[in-house]
Structure 1
Amino acid sequence: MFVLEYKIYPKQNQIDAINEAIKTTQFVRNKVLRFWMDNHGVGKAEMFRYNTRLRKEYSFVNELNSHACQAAVERTLRAITRFYDNCKNKVKGKKGYPRFKHNTRSVEYKVSGWRLEETKKHITFTDKKGIGMLKLVGSRDINYFQPEQIKRVRMLRRADGFYVQFCIKLDPRYTIKPIEPSGKAVGLDVGLKYFLADSQGNIEPNPRFYRKAEKRLKKLNRRKSKKFKKGKKQSNNYHKARQRYALQHLKVSRKREEFVKRVALRLVKSNDLLFCEDLSVKNMVRNAPPFSTADPAGFEIQQERGSAFHALN
């Protein structure tokens, strides 16, 4: 799937409607998961039938588009399937037993419940939640794709606002511009002191975005914690501090993501064949030699162990 993302600036009544749709998605997912827990041996068909019962029983669920409710059931099915696969493959440690969601941030529609306007600069959500028309702000041109290629539309909430994502099904054989063969092959090794090294002797240093931002993150977290009042309704100052803390985390995650994309694109364009190890990061962290906290360099390497691998994947 190819994903196009656009920023949206909804009004307050639209924000309330989007949040209500997200809460409804979370409600459906958790109810279906409880149904699976209480009824041993139920399958996919029974879960979708239970979703139909929920739509008849709860009016606020019926207000959400039926395909969006089905997408919520599919989320539960993916979690259950992953758990069974881990058990079947005898994965060491926790198997990932499905858990209830308490802070869902997105709602996903399929091929109905939304409509692109003729100019394709606006999108209208047509279910009974009352979200209405939203302007799409972004540099990518969606006019290049046919409406039938759009398989999913997702609204998600981040620290800096709301976004709309279009999941587009493409055939890479006809959509990706051909690249002239370079006749090169390279082997990659992910390191600890460095991000990665190749067989040609080139080393990509580890930018350590999180380590550089850690001091600022700790400061914002302390400010947030000081304003937290246990057992009481949180003040506006607490929510503002929490927002600043979340924005800083979002900034770090975007830096890491863009760095990985840049490195991956450069490697793909300059080489015809890439070799890399199939490493189990979990086992490497478990079997890592102990470092003394008296050795700042070694301790930092131990803390960074695994972050580079996750970033590369």
Structure 2
Amino acid sequence: MTKQKLTILLASPRGFCAGVDRAIHIVEEALRRYGRPVYVRHEIVHNRFVVEDLKAKGAIFVDELDDVPDGVPVIFSAHGVPQSVPAEAERRNLFYLDATCPLVTKVHYEAQQHWRDGRQIIMIGHAGHPEVVGTMGQVPEGTMILVETLEDVAKLEPADPEKLSFITQTTLSVDDTAAIVEALRARFPAMVGPRKEDICYATTNRQQAVKAIAGRCDALMVVGAPNSSNSKRLVEVAARSGCERSMLVQRASDLDWSTLADISVLGVTAGASAPDILIEEVLDAARTHFDVTIEEVTVTDETISFKLPAALTA
């Protein structure tokens, strides 16, 4: 039987960013140097496939330092941690490696500087996300206010409107964040912002790539995890940019391809913590059901890389 033709628009950039790549390499190099087990506080990145692969290699993932025994290395996840976490590790004389993405660390430094300058800090982000928890933990409790929506902006009552600053989570929707910043600036003209936007290059690039293909797609798949902020934002961006039939997919095996029998153009991208193997799984599965033609749509080339901690390179 002749297969139905399907054009796949493959967004680029997609998948792993430099911060995710660095974090995974930190765990792998620690295992190579120090042997099994190496403990990791929280998921190193938000992807179940990556976590299970590292578990198989000897990594043990825990929720808190209380679950880490003495005398073994521990790694902090790419999302960053409150200052209390390394302080506790030092109190216990634990050997730790910090896999926080350098672009998240940049936001941490901004928060600390704003606090030292006597400014109340507004953080734009999602409550409970590990990155937000880590960033809010860089300054004393009560000196940072979390804002998630325009409604939150309208209800803000800062201690001193003339001594305000803002920072953002690195994995937000670029457009949503711009609207919130605009509303904040309208209410608080004296507010100080970051010198360079906090939303990271990888988040911005992947959203731009989705915008470039969404209007041409009958459906669009984002390969990523349900707890991945940047992956969920890609689904939202696709829906707003011309492809309402956008979906988050963890693995090709999760898909019911019969629900896509009516489409002729499929967009495919992946969140910044999704490995290439999961994208290839989706493309291979598509080929079993359709006569596939792949068109890669590139909006920019990424050349950024981050160094491993000095303890792993000496």
The structure showing larger relative contact order (alpha-carbon pairs under 8 Å, at least 6 residues apart) is: 2
Flag the structure with higher helix content: 1
TM-score normalized with structure 1 length: 0.24
Larger radius of gyration between Structure 1 and Structure 2: 1
